Amino acid sequence: MIPLQLTLKNFLSYREATLDFRGLHTACICGSNGAGKSSLLEAIAWAIWGQSRTATEDDVINAGEMDVRVDFTFINNYQTYRIIRSRHRGRSPGLEFQVETESGSFRSLSEKNVRTTQHKIIADLRLDYDTFINSAYLRQGRADEFMLRRPNERKQILADLLKLDRYEELAEKAKDTTKQFKGQTEQLTVNLQRLKEQLEQREDIVREGEHLKEKLEQLHKEQTVESKQLKGLQALDGERQTWQQQFLWQKEECERLGKECDRVLQDRQRQKTELQELQELCDRETEIISGYQGLLQLQQEEENLAAKFQAYQEAQQQKQQLQQQLERKRNELNLQLRQTQTRLEALEQQDRELVELFQRGEEIDRAIAQLKEHRQQLDRLDSLQHEVSPLLQRRGEIALEVERTQTRLSARLEQLRASEREFSAQTARFSDLRQTVWEVNAKVEELDKKKVYRDRVQEKGQEQRAAQERLQENQRTYEKRIKELQQKLELLEVPEAICPLCERPLDEHYRGAVVDKTQQEQENIQQQFWLLREQMAEGDRKLQALRAEYAQITQELEPYDSLLQQRGQVETDLDRTYQFHERLQENQAEQESLTRSLEEGNYALELQTELQNLDRELQRLNYDEQTHALVREEVKRWRWAEIKQAKLEDARQKHEQIAAQKPQLETAITQLQTQLEGLGSNSELQQQILQVEGYLRELGYNRDRHNTAIAELRQAQSWQLRHQQLQRAQEELPKVQNRLQGLEERLEKEQKDKRAIEERLAQLQEQMTQMPDHSAEIHRLEVNIQQRRRQMDELLANQGRQQQQLAQLETTQQQKEDTQQQLDTIRRKHRVYQELAQAFGKNGLQALMIENVLPQLEAETNQILGRLTGNQLHVQFLTQRTGKSSRSKKKNAKLIDTLDILIADVRGTRPYETYSGGEAFRINFSIRLALAKLLAQRAGTSVQMLIIDEGFGTQDREGCDRLIAAINAIASDFKCILAVTHMPQFKEAFQHRIEVVKTDSGSQLTLLD
């Protein structure tokens, strides 16, 4: 991949920036820390793969902006491509993949969505994000990552970079399959042994069946003899029961007639009592009619008095209304009179106050003169204040700005001192952080393995639960079938049983055959049912064991998330520690500059000069704020004279108005008093009240007489009820006489029928005494037959069970043969997958691939390292070493897999930790660059662009020269090399420089030759 042009809009620290890579072979991206050098390179990775170092996707958008866009044009495999990636806050991203045509325009290769378009980009470039950052992009702070790990961790890192985890997944799948086949083998072995034991019981079952058949024939003969005896006795007993039923029916009919006669006698007595009461009431006819006539007269009198009472009430109400109207009229006149008198008194009071105000005229004139004099002086001071106020305001602003500058410098100085302490503390924590990262990584790797094993346990549990559900479904099917067969046997036990198919009666021989066949089928199903129950019990035990194991592993994985969070935090702290040393030096220089400025007052010089000029101008004007305030108060003190003078003019006009209003109010008071005197004697309302009082006297209503009439009417109300009872008695008397006669006739008929039934009962009783009772003998025979039938049922059940066992043994023989064949197949598959698990494991293909890669990696590393060190250093990779416990026994020495890196110089082989920072960096850089080229070759592409974002601060002058020489030496292997640094001596060593500067409008780029 060869870059051509990169265009940024609102990406991280950049607002608008374009970088043209055409003509750049080796270039240096330089600038101060935080200017945006690494962000420029992150934009390339984000444009192609949509990934960056930010925590969330929206974090790549510049602060304060809503969208971001990156256009990247490059050459890959002699074809020019362009990728445009954009994103808007809170919305889905956009991605456009284009290829250049022969005419120079671009044609779209984008798919229907972002995901499929991303897959298209990776497929065409044959380069994914992980391979890019480990090959073409040497990211900052990762130079010694490979060397600082333990030997076994280095081997794992190399395996991860080579993407050997795919073989690890295949190995795990093969192991899981092997465990499944092993479990199936154990289960099939147990089942095969159980089937063999069942087949050994065949001879015992056959002998027991012959014995049961003989015993059944003997019981069947005895059952036939007693069944015939029982049928004869049951016929005789049935005739006797018929006569007994007739006797009971006649007896019940006699008892019913006796109860009916008693009920008719009671009805007759009630009718006689009612007839007597009605006759007595008819005898008092004259007395009741007389009392009823008196009641009607009282009702008429009460109605007349009620009408007079209604008219009396209406007249009284009218009289009250007229009196109320007369009183309201009197109150209104009194109110008007009081209001008019009050107004007259108020006018007289105002007139007296105005006279007092006229007497202060001379005093008000003298105060007006004082007010004019003070106002002239105030106008002069106001004019002077307008001239001085802008100068004072400007002086305050300048003084405040000078003070703010001093405060800002002091705060910055204090911030720098605090940062210095923090940087020193953070730099001291480097070794502790690195040790913590190693420990946390080891714990995380161990928990990752447990997490994978827990997933396997969960899958096994799910499979076991599915098997249990299938067994439960089979169990319900067997239970249903057993119940159906039991019902069928109960129907066949009845002597008059019919065929369930043709609905014809079954003879004894055919019924026995059907029963035998049904019982045999029932025994077969019962045997399968118990076998199923054993399998379910075994499955429950396995399921409980898997649950316990899953719970234990889950408990062990509880600290997993906290460890991941701790690892991320510690790694972030470790990355920051690399930058703290350089920031500490810049901090100290800035502290010295700020301290000198504050001590000498060498800050805001222009503002301090302007402040002195303003002080001289204010002194010349000689404006006194206190004198201005005193004059203003004097003006306020004499302003009452203007108010009093205006009131004096108003008072003269008001005095004239009062003199005109007083005679009118006095006349109105006299008129109102005259109207009040004539209201109670000759008014229209008073005449209407007198007319209503005359009407009440003419009406003549007497309340006492009305109350007496009401009391007499209440006492006479009972005659109305007696009159109604008399009318009803006269109507009911003939009906009661007819009902009494009918009851007499019915009683005579019921008594005659009762005597006839009693005679029939006597005859039936005599006949029943002549017939013998066979119920005891019948009961004895029924008990014997029932007991013998239960014995036959048990024998038939045992016979069916034995026949079912024989049929089951035939099935068992076939199952044995099938199980043996299945066991052989499973064992063969188990061996195959066991060998696959070993082949895909770390000691198989993975170890072989690493062994093949390491010589190439070692040769490439030493070639680059020789350029950097003048062939003074040499690196060797060892994959095996002798164990400590077996070093003394060389013949039986045990080799341990490892990935040790031996570094040799002119003085011999030494550990990596004993080399200086510059030497260690050159070693790391060589191994890192060799890994990059190796990964690119394995990905099927070539590394045409190299980005080096590593810190070169550990190199001395000679080391820097060698590093630059090494970069120039390998420059022919790459189309474009970009090195990111802030060191001045590196800037001049490259053909081109890309200066990055941080401004208020974002980071800016400048290309220098």
Secondary structure (DSSP) of 111-132: -SSHHHHHHHHHHHHT--HHHH
- What is the mean pLDDT of the segment spanning 184-204? 79
pTM of the predicted structure, to 2 decimals: 0.38
- Confirm whether 808 is domain-assigned: no
* Helices 202-283 + 718-768 axis angle, to 10: 140
| Beta-bridge partners for 96 | 84
> Which are the contacts of 1006, defined by CB distance < 8 A and separation ≥ 6?
994, 995, 997
For 363-394, what is each residue's pLDDT tens digit? 777 777 777 877 787 787 777 777 777 777 77
pLDDT tier at 956 (50, 70, 90 boundaries)? low
For 82-134, what is each residue's pLDDT tens digit? 999 998 887 888 999 999 988 888 898 888 888 899 989 988 887 777 767 76
Q: What is the pLDDT of residue 886?
A: 45
Q: What is the pLDDT of residue 84?
A: 93
Whether residues 373 and 494 share a domain: the answer is: no
> Which are the contacts of 621, defined by CB distance < 8 A and separation ≥ 6?
384, 387, 388, 391
- Confirm whether 244 is domain-assigned: no
- Confirm whether 745 is domain-assigned: no
Q: Which residue has the higher pLDDT, 948 or 154?
A: 948
Q: Which long-range contacts (CB under 8 A, 24 or more apart) does 587-596 make?
A: 587/416, 587/419, 587/420, 587/423, 588/420, 590/412, 590/416, 591/413, 591/416, 591/417, 591/420, 594/409, 594/412, 594/413, 594/416, 595/413
Q: Which residue has the higher pLDDT, 521 or 149?
A: 521
Is residue 282 part of an annotated ligand binding site?
no
pLDDT tier at 341 (50, 70, 90 boundaries)? confident
For 585-603, what is each residue's pLDDT tens digit? 777 777 778 787 777 777 7
- Confirm whether 693 is domain-assigned: yes
Question: 729: buried, middle or exposed (CB in 10 Å: 19+, 13-18, 0-12)?
Answer: buried
Residue 618 has pLDDT above 90, yes or no: no
Whether residues 6 and 151 share a domain: the answer is: yes
For 697-728, what is each residue's pLDDT tens digit? 777 777 777 778 778 777 777 777 777 777 78
pLDDT tier at 941 (50, 70, 90 boundaries)? low
- Confirm whether 786 is domain-assigned: no
Q: Name the nearest CA neighbour of 377 among 638, 85, 199.
A: 638
Indicate the residue among 558, 592, 619 that finishes a domain.
558
Residue 509 has pLDDT above 70, yes or no: no
Q: What is the pLDDT of residue 71?
A: 94
Q: Which residue has the higher pLDDT, 500 or 847?
A: 847
The Cα–Cα gap between 647 and 658 comes to 16
Whether residues 521 and 603 share a domain: the answer is: no
Q: What is the pLDDT of residue 888?
A: 45
Is residue 502 part of an annotated ligand binding site?
yes
The Cα–Cα gap between 767 and 362 comes to 158
Q: What is the pLDDT of residue 85?
A: 92
Residue 283 has pLDDT above 60, yes or no: yes
Min mean pLDDT across 13-22, 101-110, 654-663, 818-827 is at 654-663
Total domains present in the chain = 4
Residue 475: what residue type?
Answer: Q
Whether residues 86 and 123 share a domain: the answer is: yes
For 742-799, what is each residue's pLDDT tens digit? 878 877 887 787 778 777 777 777 766 776 777 777 777 778 878 877 777 777 777 7
Domain that holds residue 611: 362-428+581-638
The pair of structure tokens assigned to 47 is 């444009």
Whether residues 620 and 534 share a domain: the answer is: no
Q: Which residue has the higher pLDDT, 648 or 146?
A: 648
- What is the mean pLDDT of the segment spanning 41-66? 84
> Which are the contacts of 639, defined by CB distance < 8 A and separation ≥ 6?
371
Average model confidence (pLDDT) across the chain: 77
Q: What is the rounded (10 degree) CA torsion for 251, 256, 262, 268?
A: -140
Q: How far is CA 394 from the centre of its chain?
A: 60
Q: What is the pLDDT of residue 887?
A: 47
The Cα–Cα gap between 26 and 975 comes to 9
Residue 33 has pLDDT above 60, yes or no: yes
Residue 21 has pLDDT above 80, yes or no: yes
CATH number at residue 976: 3.40.50.300
Angle at 240 between CA 238 and CA 242, to 5 degrees: 70
Indicate the residue among 590, 605, 638 that finishes a domain.
638
* Phi, psi dihedral angles at 380 (to 5 degrees): -65, -45
Residue 428 has pLDDT above 70, yes or no: no
Whether residues 87 and 64 share a domain: the answer is: yes
Indicate the residue among 525, 558, 591 that finishes a domain.
558
- Confirm whether 153 is domain-assigned: yes
Whether residues 101 and 153 share a domain: the answer is: yes
DSSP structural state of residue 11:
B
Whether residues 327 and 392 share a domain: the answer is: no
For 549-566, what is each residue's pLDDT tens digit? 888 888 887 887 777 777
The Cα–Cα gap between 110 and 99 comes to 10
Whether residues 586 and 446 share a domain: the answer is: no
The Cα–Cα gap between 74 and 24 comes to 13
Whether residues 342 and 468 share a domain: the answer is: no
Residue 531 has pLDDT above 60, yes or no: yes
pLDDT tier at 889 (50, 70, 90 boundaries)? very low
- Confirm whether 731 is domain-assigned: no
- What is the mean pLDDT of the segment spanning 347-364? 72
Whether residues 680 and 620 share a domain: the answer is: no
The Cα–Cα gap between 689 and 695 comes to 10
pLDDT tier at 496 (50, 70, 90 boundaries)? low
The Cα–Cα gap between 501 and 394 comes to 119
Whether residues 10 and 153 share a domain: the answer is: yes
- Confirm whether 272 is domain-assigned: no
